[in-house]
Amino acid sequence: MHIVAHRGYSGKYPELSPLAFEKAMELPIHGVECDVRLSRDGKVVVQHDPTLERTTGRAGRVSAMDWRELSEVDIGKGQRMMLLDDLLAMLGDKPHHLYIETKHPSGQGSALEKRVMERLRAAGLDEDPRMHVISFSHKAIRRMKILAPHIDRIYLRRDWERHFNRSDFMWSRPSALGVSLLRAKMQAAIIGAQGLPTYMWTVDKPEDMKWAWSNGVDMLATNQPEVALRAIEL
């Protein structure tokens, strides 16, 4: 089972910060996960929430701010927000994989996936097998299939989908499927459904990590990668 540091080593350092990714990449784990959005001036910004309040304590919507302003925001312990370009440079030739979650709805339509691919191409990573794109949006997964059919695409199921999509039909044709720990605990048969690899989030307790491993989860997203390394026999 592959361990993926969710938002970097976010259980110990400010989420999605340079320090969180630096510390995660010092560990012998499979990869790191990040979230991306577009700034007003079209930069691919590493940020989970549409607004700044939760992580910075200040008001502001990412899509309504230019990168110049966003780059000066303290996201915790003196850390600054990153561009996807910065994270790709940090990754360099390290063996770690990168799971890029495109956040929707964004109000910017298909622009986000297009810009992500532009940045991957600019870094020479558009055909790198370490790159993965994940999303809760079928439309985003479909766009990525058209833009880069060779890149691994993981559709993240929302928990409520079990009520409205009982057949688990995937019209976006992803190459892997995501499921929350909560839903998997209620419906273990969903792990490995359709013969596709399973990406599970967000698993921080040792007993849940062991449960996921024993039930065949392929990729485990956690805020506590060191806990996972100790809990799971690799």
pLDDT tier at 163 (50, 70, 90 boundaries)?
A: confident
How many Å apart are CA 156 and CA 143, to the nearest integer? 15
| pLDDT band per the 50, 70, 90 thresholds, residue 145 | very high
In this structure, what token pair is assigned to residue 184?
């998997």
- Pick the closest to residue 70 from 214, 2, 62 (CA basis): 62
For 35-81, write each residue's pLDDT tens digit: 999 999 999 999 999 999 999 999 999 999 999 999 999 999 999 99
Residue 56 lies in domain: 2-231
Q: Shortest CA distance to 21 belongs to which of 37, 35, 36, 10? A: 10
- Looking at the 3D structure of the chain, how many domains does it have? 1
Stated pTM of the model: 0.97
Query: pLDDT tens across 166-204, in order?
Result: 778 888 999 999 999 999 999 999 999 999 999 999 999
pLDDT in tens, 84-109: 999 999 999 999 999 999 999 887 87
CATH code for position 98: 3.20.20.190
pLDDT of residue 234: 55
Residue 149 has phi, psi (to 5 degrees) of: -60, -20
Q: Are 14 and 75 in contact (CB under 8 A)?
A: yes
Q: Is the pLDDT of residue 115 over 80?
A: yes
CA–CA dist 144, 43 (Å, integer): 18
Residue carrying structure tokens 């622009």: 111
Rounded Cα distance between 152 and 119, Å, is 16
Say how many residues make up the chain: 234
